[in-house]
Amino acid sequence: MKKIIAFVLLLCMALSFTGCQFNYEKPSEMLEIFEGWVENLGQSQITEDGDLIGERILSEDAYAGRYCADGEDETGKDVVFGGASVEKRQLKVYGTITTESGKATVRIRQNWDVTEVETDEDGNFETNLSLDNGGNYIMVNYEDFTGNIELYSEYEGAEGSTL
C-alpha cells in the first residue's frame, strides 16, 4: 500500500512539473506591456470630460491639446493633461488667464514636485517642460474664479497649435 501511495504522489508531482513552462518575453514586448499598465494607471488621475469646469480637446495623446473655460464663481481643480509613462517628453505649455474676480492658477506636477506657472501682467503664460518618466500632470486650480482660461499643451517642435 505504501508503494502505491508513493507512486501516486510521485506521478502527481511529475505531472504537475510538466505543466510548468517559463515563457520569457522579449524586452521590447515586456516594456510595451509595462507601459500599457502605467498609462492606464496614470489616466485614472485625469479629470473626466463630464466633470471638467472647462472643455478639453486632445491632440496627439493625453499630454497635448487645448483647454478652454469660461467660469463664473468656480472653485475646484481640473487635471487637464498628462498621465504616467515610462517615456520622457518635451512639452510647451502656454495660454492666457483673464480674471474678473477670484483666482485661477495653472500648476504642473512632475512626479512629487508641484510648481505654479507664473503669468505676466496681461495674464499670459508660457513654459517649456522636460518631463521625466513617472506621473506628470497639467492642472488648473480655481478659487471663486470668474473669467476665462485658454490653455495649450503641445510637443516642442510642433509648428503652432494643431487645434
Number of folded domains in the chain? 1
Task: Count CB atoms within 10 A of the CB of residue 41.
Answer: 12
Residue 73 lies inside a defined structural domain of this protein:
yes
What phi and psi, each to the nearest 5 degrees, are found at residue 8? -65, -45
Q: Give the model's confidence band at 162: pLDDT under 50 very low, under 70 low, under 90 confident, else very high.
A: very low
Cell of 138: 497639467
Phi, psi of 118, rounded to the nearest 5 degrees? -80, 145
What are the pLDDT digits (tens) for 7-55? Answer: 677 666 666 666 555 555 677 776 676 666 666 666 768 899 999 999 9
Residue 134, pLDDT score: 84
Residues 78, 47: contact at Cβ < 8 Å?
A: yes
Whichever domain contains 131, its CATH number is 2.60.120
**pLDDT of the residue at 137:** 95
* Position 3 in a domain: no
Residue 6 or 131, more confident: 131
The verdict on residue 59 lying in a domain is yes
Q: What is the DSSP letter of 62?
A: T
CA distance 6 to 56: 68
Angle CA(85)–CA(88)–CA(92) in degrees, nearest 5?
110
Its pTM stands at 0.74
Q: What is the pLDDT of residues 80-115, one digit of tens each?
A: 999 988 889 999 999 999 999 999 999 999 988 999
| CA gap 84, 132 in Å, rounded | 10
Structural domain that includes position 83 = 27-155
Alpha helices in the chain (DSSP H): 2-18, 27-43
Q: What are the tens digits of pLDDT across the range 132-161?
A: 988 899 999 999 999 999 999 999 865 554
Q: Is residue 16 part of a domain?
A: no
**Distance separating alpha carbons of residues 6 and 90, to the nearest angstrom:** 65
Residue 14 covered by a domain: no
Q: Which helix (H) or strand (E) holds 6?
A: helix 2-18
Question: 5 falls in which pLDDT band (50, 70, 90)?
Answer: confident
Residue with cell 499643451: 153
- Answer yes or no: is 160 within a domain: no
pLDDT tens string 53-83: 999 999 989 999 999 999 999 999 999 999 9
